[in-house]
Amino acid sequence: MPDLTYQPIAVLSKKLASGEVSSKDITLHLLDRIERLNPAINAFIRMEKESAVRDAEEADKKIASGKSGPLLGVPIAVKDLIAIENGVTTCGSRMLENFVSPYSAKVVEKLRKAGAVILGKTNMDEFAMGSSNETSRFGPCLNPWNTETVPGGSSGGSAAAVAAGLCPAALGSDTGGSIRQPASFCGIVGLKPTYGRVSRFGLVAFASSLDQIGPMGLTVEDTAIILQAIAGHDPMDSTSVDIPVPDYSESLNEGARGMVVGLPKEYYVKGMDEEVRAIVLNAADALEKAGAKIEEVSLPYTEYAVPVYYVIAPAEASSNLSRYDGVKYGYRSDHSATLEEMYANTRTEGFGAEVKRRIMLGTYVLSAGYYDDYYLKAQKVRTLIINDFKDAFKKCDVLLTPAAPTPAFKLGEKTDNPLKMYLNDIFTINVNLAGVPAISVPAGFSSAGMPVGVQMIADNFNEPALFRAAAAFEKTRDPEISQKHPSL
């Protein structure tokens, strides 16, 4: 049997179509690998073994009958805030640890329609609130490159699973960098699509104006294949935009020649790890050699991104999480004498410390007397940040920045300092505030052997430009970057 570990989707698809391997072979191989290796990193928190094997067998029948498709028979993992019908969806929280979803998210429906096999659910920061995957009810996920470090968050389980060769690709969600930062920390590709490009129906909400589902994979092409399958308008999601979905594969081989790549001067600041800075600037040099024009641009309101984000996101979280009161579904405290005590005890016992911190912050900024001073002002500055990007994309096709200010940090290093943890998202949250698409691509390794990714950002619905630039850069890299994998 051919090697089935660390095979990109496009490679697996060809092997399946030729009959060299079956979907059941791949699925059983990965399930075995997960059983052996997952205890070391805690990337998966729930497996869908029976349904995965059943779906793989169904995919093999379709392939035998002459049907084809880039995802037909390919196993994929799903972050555990994306609903799967009759499966448990926990959001990494005690509040939902036994919640069985009565329906599937639209992205899951689309993946299954494309013939993908859902392997299971991946670990995550509780309710997607975290940058290290240390707030999960099911224990922290560990970085397979060095299990003393974090994989990033909140989609740390998805990133670690792909990096460890437990699955070829996974879905994550990105509210302030939760796909791109863990992709950088774990040495994989992670795409945050334009807000409204992918349906959020069946995604448990953290901050509704910021959340977006996106793909994580071994290659830029992998993320393009998955986005092709899950993108498009959904009448069940009022934020889903009804515009045509282009053929993303057409952008992958166009090359960087003629593109204008902007370097935002506000992203190359003091405090950034010098190795990260060097790797990102080397990526700029590589794109220039590939025919792109490199220009310095300015995003002057970048410095306000962190305070704006940590007003708006907790405010929306406070509203969204008010539904978890122990009445209709989810955890309910048994230690209450009155209805009011039941509400208080349920939320005290059901939510972790970080979630409660953000609920309290969000409730405060929305309260009478403070709404105008904090929330309304933050929304006004958000508009200025959006305009920054509009102005920048008048001059360039994509922006090139770090994905994170440092490589992966040690477990526990920032848990006692929330502000220090929040600043780890300094290069990613502007993208969510503006709603534009961005991708993290592996670009090198630190002197300690940890992966470092670069981030590329494009204008609204211009994912083709992202794929074009990212794929062009991918071709210029040292082959070691794609050939080197963690040793578990």
Q: Which are the catalytic amino acids?
A: 79, 154, 178
Q: Which residues pair with 402 in a beta bridge?
A: 454
Q: What tokens does 32 get?
A: 């075995």
Q: Give the contacts of 154 (CB within 8 A, at least 6 positions apart).
A: 92, 124, 125, 128, 129, 130, 131, 133, 173, 175, 178, 182
Instruction: Report d(CA 471, CA 457) in Å as an integer.
Output: 14
* Residue keyed to tokens 């002002």: 377
Instruction: Report d(CA 262, CA 469) in Å as an integer.
Output: 12
Smallest CA-to-CA distance from 206 within 128, 266, 89, 133 is with 128
**DSSP string over 179-195:** THHHHHHHTSEEEEPPT
For residue 74, the one-letter residue type is V
* Residue keyed to tokens 């013939």: 115
461 three-class SS: coil
Asked whether 422 and 306 are in contact (CB, 8 A), the reply is yes
Asked whether 424 and 180 are in contact (CB, 8 A), the reply is no
Instruction: Report d(CA 354, CA 126) in Å as an integer.
Output: 8
Q: What tokens does 313 get?
A: 């996101």
For residue 313, the one-letter residue type is A
Instruction: Report d(CA 3, CA 360) in Å as an integer.
Output: 50
284 three-class SS: helix
Instruction: Report d(CA 225, CA 247) in Å as an integer.
Output: 9
Asked whether 201 and 108 are in contact (CB, 8 A), the reply is no
Q: How many CB atoms lie within 10 A of CB 2?
A: 11
Cα distance between the two ends of the chain: 22
**DSSP string over 220-247:** HHHHHHHHHHHBS--TT-TT----PPP-
Burial degree of 147 (CB within 10 A; 0-12, 13-18, 19+): middle
Instruction: Report d(CA 53, CA 28) in Å as an integer.
Output: 7
Number of continuous H segments (helices) and E segments (strands) in the chain: 16, 11
Q: Give the contacts of 265 (CB within 8 A, at least 6 positions apart).
A: 296, 297, 298
